[in-house]
């Protein structure tokens, strides 16, 4: 009888330990399943994501090789591939498609030596892809500053010249391309057009 009682006493503590081990194992499986599902749905196991990362790495290596010594001199954000011209379908000759983007805010500047002001709104034209306009948006404050500096150099006599608007449009195009070239190594603005022009 003493032997049977001892056996019962020994078996009782084993059952709670077995339950604890099963519970720990279940919690570990739950955590592992959650992590695995999260990685799967975020695309961690996707071959496409790995391929894209490898292509970007190869592109960066290629541009570094192509840039040579220049590549080391370029700052952050520079060295990316330049925008490409968008071709128009035309049977006889190659033509490029032009796109336009108007600046959101008007430009207002005093004329030199007078109380008169010039208020203009402009649109940029390019035959390159949308990266040019993304660069314009990215550096809008620098571009606005350069354009306002160019505008304030004109006098009332300049404004009265017949070809003033063409001259001003060309100057604004040059200033915009200077800023874009300084920060992105490429301008891409083919022309500046006035959508509003007031002198008062």
The model's pTM: 0.56
pLDDT at 11 over 80: no
| Average pLDDT value for residue range 69-91 | 57
* Cα(53)–Cα(57) distance, integer angstroms: 6
SS (H, E, C) 162-197: CCHHHHHHHHHHHHHHHHHHHHHCCCCCCEEEEEEE
SS (H, E, C) 107-119: EEEECECCCCEEE
* Cα(152)–Cα(198) distance, integer angstroms: 14
Instruction: Say yes or no: domain 87-199 is CATH 3.20.20.80.
Output: no
pLDDT band of residue 76 (cuts 50, 70, 90) is very low
The per-residue pLDDT for range 90-117, each reduced to its tens digit, is 556 667 789 999 999 999 999 998 999 9
């Amino acid at each position: 009888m003493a032997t049977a009682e001892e056996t019962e006493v020994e078996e009782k503590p084993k059952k709670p330990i077995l339950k604890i081990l099963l519970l720990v194992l279940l919690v570990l499986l739950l955590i592992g399943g959650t992590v695995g599902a999260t990685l799967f749905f975020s695309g961690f196991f996707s071959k496409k994501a790995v391929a894209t990362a490898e292509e970007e790495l190869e592109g960066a290596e290629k541009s570094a090789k192509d840039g040579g010594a220049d590549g080391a001199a370029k700052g952050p954000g520079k060295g990316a591939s330049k925008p490409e011209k968008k071709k128009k379908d035309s049977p006889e000759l190659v033509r490029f498609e032009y796109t336009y983007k108007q600046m959101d805010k008007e430009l207002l500047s005093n004329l030199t030596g007078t109380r008169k002001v010039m208020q203009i709104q402009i649109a940029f034209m390019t035959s390159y892809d949308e990266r040019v306009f993304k660069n314009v948006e990215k550096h809008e404050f620098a571009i606005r500053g350069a354009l306002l500096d160019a505008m304030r150099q004109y006098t009332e006599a300049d404004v009265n010249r017949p070809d003033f608007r063409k001259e001003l449009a060309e100057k604004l195009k040059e200033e915009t391309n200077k800023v874009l070239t300084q920060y992105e190594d490429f301008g891409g603005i083919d022309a500046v057009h006035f959508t509003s022009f007031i002198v008062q």
